[in-house]
Structure 1
Amino acid sequence: MDAMIDPKASIGANVRFGAGVRVYANAEIGDDCTIGDFCILGHPGPGENDPLRLGAGATIRSHSVLYEGSTIGPKLETGHHIVIREKSQIGENLRVGNFSDIEGTCRIGDFTRLHGYAHVGKGTQIGDFVWLFSLTTTMNDPLPPSHIHDPVTIGDMVTVCVNAQCMPGTRIGRGCLIAAGALAEGEIPDGQILGRNGIEGPVNFAMHMATRTRHPWHKHFADAYPDHAQDRIKALGTEIEAALLAAM
């Protein structure tokens, strides 16, 4: 099945399309992108929207849908069956796992990671170097269904573990660790562990006893990022550690 590419779409150099791809007129695709089978780019959203602007070097895997109106930085990587809705602003090298969705008007920083089945509610604000593991949810309606809109904010270098739920209006400070199955709500200060029973202490209390590996993660996981991100990771880690010392 041939790709259906509107002649009004802007397509960069060395872009590769799989079978059954549809690209709408309101799409701008950067150089060196790979678009897998049966993807849709520039899908129409409600109202009038700017083009979908997809940065260079993206890898979009099969059955993914990216709406018009979003601006996405270079080196986006997706799993299969993901959705990114309209009017989101996304930085460099976002990775989105299978069956995850970003529900529009979101702001996501650089080098953020979403594992499979993550749900990012409309209007969520996410910083740089953030991890959302599988089955995490960010919500935005405190009295569903209603027209009240109170999205979640997640600071830089936060880790949200499997099946954690972030309630509407939650503000998670930089460097926090939200434990698996935890319910996050309200204000969570920088560098704290949130467990199932509330705040459990600073993140440097979190340790893997067998290896003596300790949070914050920038000390043991920075090698997972490219060279040009290293100074930013080091600076953020230093700031989070300083905030922990100041709070003691």
Structure 2
Amino acid sequence: MDAVIHPTAVVEAGARLGKGVRIGAFCHIGDDVVVGDGCEFGPHCSVAGPTTIGTDNRFIGHCAIGGEPQDKKFAGERVELVIGDRNTFREFVTINRGTGTGGGITRVGNDNWLLAYTHVAHDCTVGDHCVFSNNATLAGHVSVGDHVILSGFAGVHQFCRIGAHAFIGMGAFVNGDVPPFVMVAQDGYGRPRGINSEGLKRRGFDSGRISAIKRAYRALYVAGGSLDDARAKLLEMAGESEDVRALLDFIDSGERPLLR
């Protein structure tokens, strides 16, 4: 099936469209844009290149995808945005390309749901199965793991990492790394408030796995010792739990301070 393009839309000659692509009224698809099969663009969407979009993505309306990075050091070098498959982008979502000094690529994985007015800045990496609620914002160079939820108006500082299965509460501002499984709530800047146990249950984590993660959380955040003390306790637990091992690996690989 050929692409269906509204007569008011503009598709530049250098764009490549897959089978069954639908482009709505007043859209603009720029040069050096590759759109996979089955993608759908509602009215007033724009895509600038170089951008590569996978299959079966939905852009509901007024999305601005692949724009230049909001970085004063950007000098027009070739940088990219790469989007995976089966994502949904609601109204007024903005996603920027990378920067030459930051790796050059912004990446969004598969099966994500980005709600209205969310923003993914330059050089970010977003995993799979994430939900960003309205007005959630990532600054540059942020890494987000799989199955992460950002609640409405949450904001993440540049260079921070959000581990897999973490939950960031409404209006929380994150200025440090958030370990996997941890739940963060608003308190000035966001602070850890337990683990995301409800989300883990929904994803099939059994009671044994969740109990091990809770023990690890208590060692890290409740016991009152130093980070080195907590790391030693986690190392003991990691031999019996792959989830604790993943949490410990996350802590040991960070460049920014851990959110505590």
TM-score, L = length of structure 2: 0.70
Relative to 1, partners in 2 of residues 1:83 and 1:241: Cα closer, same or farther, differing over 3 Å?
farther
Q: Does 1:70 pair with 2:51?
A: yes
> After superposition, where does 1:44-83 map in structure 2 within 5 Å?
51-83=32-64
Aligned to 1:163: 153
The AA in structure 1 aligned to 2:124 is: T
Aligned to 2:85: 92
Contact 2:142/2:157 (CA < 8 Å) preserved in 1? yes
Q: Does 1:247 pair with 2:216?
A: yes
Q: What is the CA-CA distance between 1:163 and the residue it aligns to?
A: 0.3
Q: Does 1:28 pair with 2:16?
A: yes
Contact 1:79/1:98 (CA < 8 Å) preserved in 2? yes
Give the Cα–Cα distance (whole angstroms) in 2 for the partners of residues 91 and 155 of structure 1: 14
Find 2:178's aligned residue among 182, 188, 206. 188
Aligned to 1:127: 127
Instruction: Choose between structure 1 and 2: higher helix proportion.
Output: 2
Which is further off, 15-24 or 154-163?
15-24
Find 1:203's aligned residue among 164, 173, 196. 196
Give the Cα–Cα distance (whole angstroms) in 1 for the partners of residues 211 and 58 of structure 2: 33
Contact 2:165/2:199 (CA < 8 Å) preserved in 1? no
Q: What is the CA-CA distance between 1:67 and the residue it aligns to?
A: 1.1
Find 1:102's aligned residue among 85, 89, 95. 95
Give the Cα–Cα distance (whole angstroms) in 1 for the partners of residues 211 and 2 of structure 2: 45
Contact 2:195/2:214 (CA < 8 Å) preserved in 1? no
Unaligned runs of 5+ in 1: 1-12, 44-50, 141-150, 205-213, 220-233
Percent identical residues: 24
Relative to 1, partners in 2 of residues 1:202 and 1:138: Cα closer, same or farther, differing over 3 Å?
same
Unaligned runs of 5+ in 2: 68-79, 99-105, 218-260
Count, aligned residues: 193
The AA in structure 2 aligned to 1:52 is: V
Give the Cα–Cα distance (whole angstroms) in 1 for the partners of residues 163 and 95 of structure 2: 21
Q: What is the CA-CA distance between 1:120 and the residue it aligns to?
A: 0.9
Contact 1:79/1:96 (CA < 8 Å) preserved in 2? yes
Q: What is the CA-CA distance between 1:23 and the residue it aligns to?
A: 0.8
The AA in structure 1 aligned to 2:86 is: N
Question: What does the per-residue CA deviation read over 1:208-236, in whole Å, with 9 as the maximum and x for residues that have no partner?
Answer: xxxxxx322644xxxxxxxxxxxxxx6xx
Relative to 1, partners in 2 of residues 1:174 and 1:243: Cα closer, same or farther, differing over 3 Å?
farther
Contact 1:191/1:243 (CA < 8 Å) preserved in 2? no
What's the RMSD between the two structures over aligned residues?
Answer: 1.9
Relative to 1, partners in 2 of residues 1:132 and 1:243: Cα closer, same or farther, differing over 3 Å?
farther
The AA in structure 1 aligned to 2:66 is: R
Give the Cα–Cα distance (whole angstroms) in 2 for the partners of residues 109 and 37 of structure 1: 27
The AA in structure 2 aligned to 1:72 is: I
Q: What is the CA-CA distance between 1:94 and the residue it aligns to?
A: 1.4
